[in-house]
Structures are given as C-alpha cells and as structure tokens.
Amino acid sequence: MIEATSAHLSRAIAEAKRRRATVCEIRQEAHDEYFQKCLKRREKNFLFTPTCAGSNTYYLDNKGDSPFRPSTHAKCTGRTAITTSTSTATA
C-alpha cells in the first residue's frame, strides 16, 4: 500500500506545483467522506467478523483498528482524481 500512497502523494505535489501553490492539504470534508467509506467497508473485512472476535492478532491494534485500508489492490493502484473546491497559491 505504500506504493499507492507514494504515487498519490507524487500526483498531489505535481498538481500543487502546477497551481504554483506552496501548500497541499486534504479538505476536512473529503477526509470525513473517505473515512466513513472505510468504516462501512470494514464491515465486510474478515478481521471484524464474529469468527475473529477476541482473537489475538497483530492485524488489529489495541483499539481494535486495522492498519489496512479496506480496498482492493485494483482500487488502491488506480488513479484517484485530484480535485479541490478552492485553489490558493501562497508565496
């Protein structure tokens, strides 16, 4: 997954440069929307099924969260459009 994150970061930096911006930041509403999708998809992840309830695994942290993004490899490596509602270039 680090490859997908690195690729997305590279695209975000390139887009910021194209816009002559010195700051690249995720909008809170975009983060919240993505996080809610992650929580919804987690319901289908085997780590969160009754079969795995109470198991001692390094796939879940002490809060019961998994570090894995709930997406397929194809979705993870696909290009995500970089969009913004406002664009501000700062010096």
For residues 82 and 13, the answer to whether their CB atoms sit within 8 Å is: no
Does residue 6 lie within any of the structural domains? yes
Domain of residue 26: give its range. Answer: 2-77
Q: What are the backbone angles phi and psi of residue 83, rounded to the nearest 5°?
A: -130, 160
pLDDT at 79 over 90: no
Does residue 88 lie within any of the structural domains? no
Structural domains counted in the chain: 1
- C-alpha 64/C-alpha 49 separation (Å) is 12
The predicted model gives 71-87 an average pLDDT of 57
CA distances from 5 to 23, 43, 61, 78 (A): 18, 23, 21, 11
Does residue 66 lie within any of the structural domains? yes
Percentage of residues in the chain having pLDDT higher than 90: 21
Q: What pLDDT does 65 receive?
A: 72
Cα of first residue to Cα of last residue in the chain, in angstroms, is 33
